Structure 1
Amino acid sequence: MAYGFDTLQIHAGARPDPATGARQVPIYQTTAYVFRDAEHAAALFNLQEVGYIYSRLTNPTVAALQERVATLEGGVGAVCCSSGHAAQIMALFPLMGPGLNVVVSTRLYGGSITQFSQTIKRFGWSATFVDFDDLDAVAAAIDDNTRAVFCESIANPGGYITDLDAVAKIADAAGLPLIVDNTSATPYLCRPIEHGATLVVHSMTKYLTGNGTVTGGVVVDSGNFDWSASDKFPSLSEPEPAYHGLKFHETFGPLAFTFHGIAIGLRDLGMTLNPQAAHYTLMGIETLSLRMERHVLNAEKVAGWLESHPTIEAVTYAGLASSPYHDRVARICPKGAGGLFTIALKGGYDACTRFVDSLELFSHVANLGDTRSLVIHSASTTHRQLSPEQQTAAGAAPNVVRISIGIEDAADIIADLDQALTKAHG
């Protein structure tokens, strides 16, 4: 039976505990698992049998979460890890090598820009940054050493919506996987795999958990990419020495990337999600659709009010009819443009900092996607390490404030913004 999203967000991956009958997924707080016998242990270590060995690799609570997120995204499998940043490295790890590059959007979270422009150089990888609204530039940036294309569905901080269908065509023509960060949209608003994405990553810390309690990341595998179509992805298509010459794609087919992420990625990188964090995220996802509906409803009301406020220079919310991205909402995010956007204040940098300091209901934090309304001045915080040109390209110019609209009463959110804007402009 094909269940709807609201049903799957509660039931996918969750079965009554066979030992106790517990209805909620238990927290399996254990390091290791007892093997039935020596033959069973050998089969697990040889990847001849699926099961639990050691919680750096697999854990029943985490496995339930992996199944739930993969189901909601329409993927064949998923690998959970310790944070959204870990998920991005986990997604690239089987694809990249020294001298290879990834083509990425300029409109990314500031930490992602730093990770791609600086940190991955230590692996011998590089990133080419391109405005993904310029499709010709995206295609031109791909060369013989490119191994992936990376973007965000709804870009943080500006709330810009990427034309995933168009970008996927370019990646497909080049024989490359498209990796989409779907953190800001969640699978309730956008399902990138349906638009041609090969892999989907999330910072589960944000909307999926939804309550600001834990960090976590996930990589969802579409199962649609032919890793053996070229010699570009030897980690997946060629013999793996650590497993006696096993070929992941030949052996596991559509699940090749998922199995590699566990058997190689988690084994050697060790960016494991702990079972308690998985439990919090599972509980958060149970109300995902309800929360996202309210986030969108509030964001539409608040953005409309802000657009007409005399102290506001611009509002970037794609849900506004005035947005250049508005026509993509119905096609890419049919249930709404999310709860994240930026506002540009008249008065520049100083007005932004006064505004942030004057808010009372909003929390000034380096997070988004909480049930609470959150605010941050990106240029002085999350995007501080970037050059002024990079800040502007990423949608985080000095006169811009990022707003993550929560699920409180919309009238209360607006009242708090109103009093803070009044104070910020004297």
Structure 2
Amino acid sequence: MWPIRPPQSLISNRWPNGRFPQFTARQQVISDDRTGEWHSFAEKFGKAAFIKRIRIKYLRTFGAVQSPFNAYLSLVGLETLPQRVSQQVVSAQRIAEHLTSAPHVTKVNYSGLGYTPQYELVGKYFPRGVGQILSFQVDGGADSVRRIIDGTKLFSYVPNIGDARSLIVDPARITHREVPAEARIAAGVSDNLIRLSIGLEDVNDLIADLDQAIAAAY
């Protein structure tokens, strides 16, 4: 045992001994956004590899433990959940209908639209609406998607869903970045896909924001 801390050289060399492939194998989850090169936790974070893996792989999946006050705020928020979700569903329906005729939008994914295969089932099982999440595809690829996302002013670039704020992400780079490209595309998550989670802002403002962002991107 070292009285204070081991030398950095020994800390850095603890992982490549064949016993901890989860730290030495290169993974897409910590790939370089610019080059696409994958890295291992050991080479990327060195002595902090263990805690970084816990944070990136497990804290993200299971969540943190709320403080008592934050738990209280969550409970208070649940009291008005039905009213908030009802408004979000109405807004999502309007936005989905608007996007079906928007320039440069090639496809809209929302089960509340009349032409979707699930429409009859929606009326049976979801009489009050199908939710506040929708996605749409646009002309071009990832570059077009990035310009649209960067051009929005009311939407937040955040990967969670169901927020009081309206959120926008490109699933190919965010929620599905660890999925191999072939499997991701087969599941319908293409490079030109944009996902929205509709919040409580005025729906006319949200539509106008999407329109100006799409127009500016082309």
TM-score by length of structure 1 reads 0.36
1:340 pairs with one of 133, 146, 155: 133
More helix by share: 2
Give 2:86's aligned amino acid: E
Unaligned runs of 5+ in 2: 1-28, 30-59
Whole-angstrom distance in 1 between the partners of 2:180 and 2:207:
32
Give 1:324's aligned amino acid: P
Q: CA deviation at 1:352?
A: 0.5
Query: Measured at CA, do residues 216 and 332 of structure 1 come closer, stay the same or move farther in structure 2, by a change above 3 Å?
Result: farther
Structure 2 partner of 1:283: 76
Whole-angstrom distance in 2 between the partners of 1:385 and 1:373:
24
How do residues 70-85 of structure 1 correspond to structure 2 at under 5 angstroms? none
Q: CA deviation at 1:334?
A: 2.4
Asked whether the equivalents of residues 340 and 402 of structure 1 are also in contact (C-alpha less than 8 Å), the reply is yes
Structure 2 partner of 1:297: 90
How do residues 311-322 of structure 1 correspond to structure 2 at under 5 angstroms? 311-322=104-115
Q: CA deviation at 1:272?
A: 4.7
Asked whether the equivalents of residues 216 and 277 of structure 1 are also in contact (C-alpha less than 8 Å), the reply is no
Matched, 1:402 2:192: no
Q: CA deviation at 1:216?
A: 10
Matched, 1:328 2:121: yes
The SS at the match of 1:331 is helix
Q: CA deviation at 1:217?
A: 7.2
Query: Measured at CA, do residues 390 and 279 of structure 1 come closer, stay the same or move farther in structure 2, by a change above 3 Å?
Result: farther
How do residues 161-172 of structure 1 correspond to structure 2 at under 5 angstroms? none
Whole-angstrom distance in 2 between the partners of 1:276 and 1:389:
44
Whole-angstrom distance in 1 between the partners of 2:128 and 2:114:
15
Q: CA deviation at 1:360?
A: 0.6
Whole-angstrom distance in 2 between the partners of 1:350 and 1:272:
38
Whole-angstrom distance in 1 between the partners of 2:131 and 2:198:
9
Whole-angstrom distance in 2 between the partners of 1:328 and 1:310:
29
Matched, 1:373 2:166: yes
Q: CA deviation at 1:395?
A: 3.5
Structure 2 partner of 1:352: 145
Question: For 1:28-48, what per-residue CA distance to the aligned partner results, in whole angstroms no more than 9, with x for missing partners?
Answer: xxxxxxxxxxxxxxxxxxxxx
1:413 pairs with one of 181, 203, 206: 206
Q: CA deviation at 1:349?
A: 1.5
Aligned-residue RMSD, C-alpha: 2.2
Give 2:215's aligned amino acid: T
Q: CA deviation at 1:362?
A: 0.8
Give 1:283's aligned amino acid: V
Matched, 1:392 2:185: yes
Structure 1 segments of 4 or more deviating over 3 A? Answer: 215-218, 271-274
How do residues 204-215 of structure 1 correspond to structure 2 at under 5 angstroms? none
The SS at the match of 1:402 is strand
Asked whether the equivalents of residues 349 and 398 of structure 1 are also in contact (C-alpha less than 8 Å), the reply is yes
Percent identical residues = 39
Query: Measured at CA, do residues 412 and 272 of structure 1 come closer, stay the same or move farther in structure 2, by a change above 3 Å?
Result: closer
Structure 1 partner of 2:22: none
Give 1:385's aligned amino acid: E
Whole-angstrom distance in 1 between the partners of 2:144 and 2:70:
38
TM-score by length of structure 2 reads 0.68
The SS at the match of 2:172 is helix
Asked whether the equivalents of residues 313 and 346 of structure 1 are also in contact (C-alpha less than 8 Å), the reply is yes
Whole-angstrom distance in 1 between the partners of 2:158 and 2:217:
19
Whole-angstrom distance in 1 between the partners of 2:115 and 2:68:
44
Whole-angstrom distance in 2 between the partners of 1:304 and 1:345:
15
Whole-angstrom distance in 2 between the partners of 1:374 and 1:283:
22
Whole-angstrom distance in 1 between the partners of 2:188 and 2:127:
23
More strand by share: 1
Q: CA deviation at 1:310?
A: 2.2
State the aligned residue count: 160
The SS at the match of 1:363 is coil
Unaligned runs of 5+ in 1: 1-110, 112-214, 219-270
